[in-house]
Every structure is written in C-alpha cells, then in structure tokens.
Amino acid sequence: MDQLTLITILLPAALGIIMIGLGLELTLADFKRVKQRPKAVLVALFCQFVLLTLVAFGLSELLHLPPELAVGLVLLSASPGGPVANLYSYLYKGDVALNITLTAINAIIAAVALPIIVNLALAHFIHDDQKIGLQFSKVIQVFSIIIVPVIIGMTLRHYQPHLAHRLNKPVKIFAIGFLILIMVGAISQEGKKMLDYAAQVGVATALFCIASLNIGYFVPRLFNIEEAQARACAFEIGIHNGTLAMTIAITVLGSTAIAIPAAIYGIVMLFFTWIFGSIISRKDVKAEDNPAHLSLNRDVIELGVK
C-alpha cells in the first residue's frame, strides 16, 4: 500500500474509529452537566483555548523553534483531551464527571477553534497563503474528523448500549496501538529532522506539558474552584489528544514535520503527568495524617448522627 493511500484513507479512518470510541463514553447528560459546574467549565475552556495557545506561541518564540515545529506545538495546544484524562483524574481523585463534561464540550469547540488557531500559527510562523482557516474544505475536514465520529459513537451508545459496552475496550486498545504506530511512522519519516530538533522539541514539549498541567490546576484554584474539580481541569487541559494533532498535521496539513511535537509529547506527557499526579496526591496523605482534619471529620460525623 502506497503512502498516499495511507495518508488519505487509513489515517482518517483509524482516527474516526478512535473518535467513535470517545463518543461511546459520552451521553447528552454530559453536556447538560455544564449547568451544574458552569464556572469550572468556563475557566477550563479559557485555559485550554486562550492561555495554552499563548503559551505555545510564547515557547515557540522563546526557544526559536523552526516554523513547522512551532505550528505543530500550537496545533497540539488546541487539541482537546480525551479518555486518558478521565483515567488520570480517576487515579488521582479528580472530578471524573467534570472530565467527561469537559471532553464533550472540548470536542465541539475544538472543531471550530482548532482551524482558527492553526490558521494564526501558519500566518505567524510560515506565512502560508494556503491557510487551513481560509479553506472551507479543510475546515469541513477537521469538523468531520472530530464531530461526526463522536456523534456516531454517542448514537450507538444511546440505541445499542450493550454493543457500545462491548466495543469500548477493543477501541481503547486500538487507540493505543494506533498512537504508537503513527508516532513511529512520523519519527521514522522525519528521522534526520528528529535528531536535529530533538533537544528543541524535547525541551519545548516538556515545558509545554508542565505549563499545561499547572495552568489547568492553579488557575481554577485562583477562582476558588474546589480541589477535585481543579484536578479534573488539570488533567483535561494537560493531556492533549496527540493522535488527533498528528493526524491533522499529516492528513490535513500534509506535513509529518508538524506532527513531530505531538509525537514527542505523547511520550513526555506520561512522565510529567505521573509526577504531577504524585505531587498533588501528597495533599491527600497530609490531610489524612493531620489530627485536626481527623477531628473535624469526627465532629462532622457526630453532627450527622445527631
């Protein structure tokens, strides 16, 4: 099978399966839940699509990234989270329901915001007249990649819940395998550039990951959003959909170089997310070891009994 077939057919089809898997985990109730946590959702979306975009542009300028890598980092910043964020939120006592809601809302907004943000990056770094945001066909392509499969997955879950449940695990396994496959493909095709840019890309993605997690956690805390919800925001904002970013880079923008930051991020993210989760988990240990905290809990229990 030639490379053109791989790029134009297999990559979008495989990503479509992954996004259907995302839809299998969503219901209309996940969208309606916004009314219960409006402040947390609005703050998280502001962090995702405004602050992180500024961070990606800033890091690209500060580290003097080559134009295509800079666009790749900005593309990554605009890519929403997904089921992996829900898993980390569960492991580190975040508000998983909020994660699911943010995933649902992010998928909708990203279909519109991502072409605009990438368009700005292309104009700023590459000065390309063929911008994604100015080509209606490419906007429709991005929309189709993100929204249509999610709707299919949600519809399947609604009308065939048992089948959706059976498909959930195989699709997740496929998603992991596909991510590894396109990471290897992008790295092998851009092997020489990877070596040339390894230090820059590694530093850029590491700093971006650290910034994403911390912005996602501390900005909500500044707005007095409770701990569990702040953790959910941190993982939703800090864990970007690298598969989506790489597929758009290769299929829509036609550049494996633009896919490199997302490929590296997929590796770097695992390490820094684990460190971040371990650090915030220390709060739980300290709270459990704090006699005043235990005393307060006993008082609350006694009050409830009375």
Model pLDDT for residues 72-123, shown as the tens digit of each residue: 999 999 988 766 787 788 888 888 888 888 888 888 888 888 888 998 998 8
Pick the closest to residue 276 from 226, 236, 246, 225 (CA basis).
236
Model pLDDT for residues 241-295, shown as the tens digit of each residue: 887 888 888 878 888 888 889 888 988 888 899 999 999 888 765 555 555 544 4
Correct CATH for 3-305 of 3.40.710.10, 3.40.109.10, 3.30.565.10, 1.20.1530.20: 1.20.1530.20
Q: Which residue has the higher pLDDT, 22 or 153?
A: 153
How high does pLDDT run on average in the chain? 80
pLDDT of residue 136: 62
Pick the closest to residue 257 from 175, 306, 173, 196 (CA basis).
196
Model pLDDT for residues 1-40, shown as the tens digit of each residue: 444 445 556 666 777 777 787 788 778 887 777 888 889 9
What is the model's pTM?
A: 0.78
C-beta of residue 68 within 8 angstroms of C-beta of residue 259: no
Q: State the DSSP code for 133.
A: G
What percent of the chain lies above the pLDDT cut of 90? 28
**All structural domains of the chain with their residue ranges:** 3-305
